[in-house]
Structure 1
């Protein structure tokens, strides 16, 4: 169980010719290995394989057994770097969720049209979707810190532009810049975490990083609503800057990653520029119509069908082309086994469920229980608290048990069961029951939140691919969220049209609901309607139908999640190697 995996060299990958000897090799070659240096070499076990250290010990008389017996002590720079990554993920998760609650006030102040309000919401997620894979592949070729700093810069500029905006066009430009920067930050934190930790110890840090992600997703809407209602919506942008400043300082002074030793011109030639271009076109053409279909434009509109058709054509072209480049955006080797494919499917399904729940649970409370927007966001806490807790607990259990498969099965099973029970709720159902169901859904979603990355990274053969594998989990979770929200929007509109039509002729106050695209925007008005109790009850039931249909669909998603884990394998997570861009120590 505690066997140590072989080094990259013993696996047959060999050492890259351009790489210089690491700190341990230099230290030994210079004849400086002595008792005082054992503590440094002990930590460097995480920057070298055990096989390499065994060779050092045989040549220099070092006691390898004592080195292995005592756990390596992490330097201060490691912990500062982890704090930096926590701040990064908190910012991105926070920003992704904060605008939704504030957009009505922003639209009113800046006199926004429906189309402009839509773009303000969607452009951030589109920027993230475009930037994530590009930053992942660029960091693999050029090194991590250059795209990290560029992402921080774009995010900061976008936040300032957003906060200073005096019209919707400027605000949208700010959101696009934030999305491009945020996409890079989001995927690079996963990649860098894989660089600075071994697979054996990484589950613990998945839990640590998972906590600010979950907190950001939950607190974003609350903070956005509070800023917009009691201070100013512009603080949604300003509040990012001090956190970015702290993250930049920590990265600059403490994130000491081993550089790639190729000349910059040689590295630039290895970039998959054609693949990146194809991906940007494909992502944009697919994401936009999926975002507006059924809400802004009908599914049968040419504005939906044409870009979607072009987008899928470019997806096919991109997938075919990616066989060619040496440093592809999505290397085929990462999809070469069933465990990797099922892990990415789990990430996709998890993103769909998480994003749908975060958006539609508060709307459900507003429509069915007639809560105010801020109150509905607070009502999400019974889901949020277990989500945060189990996103930390789950990977710690993986670290202790050295097993992940059945834990993921249990997480998906809990999610499936209680989402299924959520489908049975009525407008007369007790809020206590709703809270209990929410809590168990949070347990299930939290259990699978961080642990999903473990099988994906365990499935790759080359340790240098583990960072990119972790990045793919982040990318697929986001795409799952985008497509899941598009599916939920379509389901809501179709189902609401059917349920509202069944009520017969509508009174004048409800005439706007004859167009289902206005149904979500009408929800805040429900609690102020002066209607007979019977009519209001029938209207709430009409709203309940599309919500219930969405719950049924995501219950099926969770069921597929169980199946995907059962089809994967329980792989060893005992690897103690680090990739070529690991921490570099000076002796």
Structure 2
């Protein structure tokens, strides 16, 4: 019997055997090597986060340049869909073939797809490029967290994940500003050219210095070990479900056969996925036993709600600034910095607190509370909102969102063995990616449907908005024409259009506030557990799973 260790703190301390896992002792790495590895990982995180936000403020310019109003949703939607669908597959490939080769493959794909996007000559080509960027980022995000988890104990990794979240939020804050600057002063294509030197540096650093276990799995054996049915079913689930939600009410009516079939068959694929993981897969993408623990399920639920909410604010606040306040792309990028800066500060603060004290439950409680209050305050935003109000609302929401980037992951990892940390982290990453896609899509659906409801008021007295303008605001066009109010000369009509945007976004903020309330409820079921300081590094490959 192995060493007896406590796995739960506070009054309920449960002693269980700490059995041997298929791991190897921690390598003693030089400061230079460790610094180079972490720089490579953080650069990868920076460029992924930058890529998610830099495009937002440039989308109106891109859709105008490529002459496609439908591109407003799909430039972000294609990225988020492919990102969500691919994450668990990349993580399982890294379990089979090793972290380093799979990480480098994802980085190389991101580099190539960035070139493809920068050279795009039509909206279709750009969307294809964004799809492959999403696939690449779907691998990079979980692999960064998995590699950090391989390198450090659960107590120590909280600090490094906190720094990772700091990098994420800083890049997310810089992204809208750079995107607006490129759109106004250079070209939107620089949103993608900027990826190349950073992505290239990441590849070189990790190729030279990353020295985690490499199983050297034969290609044929590795291909046989892949959960093919589970992979296909989860891709089908994500794509059909999100496409159905995306089309509904914006492109075609909710009761159209296309929408109904996509949502119904997408939902049914969840049954196929569960059956595959339980009955068919030899090495499942997501072992179902992970969800059997109530605390694990609650941690993943908090991640789901949090990710839908924080991406909604970062994605749609620039829309508010441009459509309601009449700000330029560059100014809207600057105006969103209070929330991103606050998220950065509280993200690293959460890492320091967990690293120093081992307490993460209190961080989660404070986070969900502030997030709920902040999103509730967004409901008050209107055309007359002052700059002070906008900043205060963002700071409160940013405190909540920043505290929740890593604490649920630590709560999840605390209950699994080091050998299962990669799978748990990949599941966490999948939930976050799926939630960000859902957050953007559902927020957009609520916004556009609300605009469609408001059109009759705009076209009738006393506003009497011309049909050629109201046509631009319907059928998914409202988000692509955010600068429309600036072109309207009649003051009554201009204020009416801005009020319509504000009212439609108010409905969206109500939706996000309800999700925040669900996060508060879910957090109650997360349990406090002991965070170990000892650590063994994971050995990847398939041989260990066969017991040979």
**TM-score with structure 1 length normalisation?**
0.83
CA distance in 1, matches of 2:317, 2:278: 42
**What RMSD over aligned residues (CA atoms) do the two structures have, in Å?**
2.4
Q: Does 1:540 align with 2:498?
A: yes
Q: Does 1:439 align with 2:395?
A: yes
How far the C-alpha of 1:148 sits from its partner, in A, is: 1.0
- Whether the 8 Å CA contact 1:495–1:546 is kept in 2: the answer is yes
How far the C-alpha of 1:256 sits from its partner, in A, is: 0.2
1:261-315 CA-partner distances (Å, limit 9, x unpaired) = 7655444432212211222222222222223333333322323222222211212
1:327 match: 283
The one of 453, 461, 479 aligned to 1:520:
479
CA distance in 2, matches of 1:322, 1:532: 59
SS in 2 for 1:480: helix
CA distance in 2, matches of 1:315, 1:387: 33
1:550 match: 508
How far the C-alpha of 1:160 sits from its partner, in A, is: 1.6
Distance 1:257 1:397, change over 3 A: same
- Whether the 8 Å CA contact 1:151–1:184 is kept in 2: the answer is yes
How far the C-alpha of 1:74 sits from its partner, in A, is: 6.1
1:199-247 CA-partner distances (Å, limit 9, x unpaired) = 0211101111111111222222222222232122222222211111211
2:349 match: 393
2:10 match: none
What runs of 5+ residues in structure 2 fail to find an aligned partner? 8-15, 541-548
Q: Does 1:479 align with 2:434?
A: yes
Distance 1:557 1:569, change over 3 A: same
1:52 match: none
1:309 match: 264
- Whether the 8 Å CA contact 2:158–2:352 is kept in 1: the answer is yes
How far the C-alpha of 1:528 sits from its partner, in A, is: 2.9
Distance 1:521 1:167, change over 3 A: closer
Q: Does 1:141 align with 2:100?
A: no
The one of 499, 508, 521 aligned to 1:563:
521
Q: Does 1:531 align with 2:490?
A: yes
CA distance in 2, matches of 1:270, 1:170: 34
CA distance in 2, matches of 1:513, 1:390: 40
CA distance in 2, matches of 1:121, 1:421: 26
What runs of 5+ residues in structure 1 fail to find an aligned partner? 23-43, 48-71, 583-587
- Whether the 8 Å CA contact 1:409–1:562 is kept in 2: the answer is yes
CA distance in 1, matches of 2:237, 2:473: 35
How far the C-alpha of 1:317 sits from its partner, in A, is: 0.7
1:414 match: 370
**TM-score with structure 2 length normalisation?**
0.89
CA distance in 1, matches of 2:191, 2:134: 14
SS in 1 for 2:476: helix
CA distance in 1, matches of 2:204, 2:5: 36
- Whether the 8 Å CA contact 2:233–2:273 is kept in 1: the answer is yes
1:426-462 CA-partner distances (Å, limit 9, x unpaired) = 43232212211111111111111222211011121x2
CA distance in 1, matches of 2:345, 2:78: 31
**Number of aligned pairs?**
524
2:381 match: 425
Distance 1:418 1:172, change over 3 A: closer
CA distance in 1, matches of 2:30, 2:397: 36
Distance 1:106 1:276, change over 3 A: same
2:39 match: 83
- Whether the 8 Å CA contact 1:373–1:524 is kept in 2: the answer is no
2:321 match: 365
SS in 2 for 1:517: coil
Distance 1:518 1:171, change over 3 A: closer
CA distance in 2, matches of 1:119, 1:581: 39
2:300 match: 344
How far the C-alpha of 1:118 sits from its partner, in A, is: 4.5
The one of 255, 265, 273 aligned to 2:210:
255
2:12 match: none
CA distance in 2, matches of 1:544, 1:349: 23
2:410 match: 454
SS in 1 for 2:167: helix
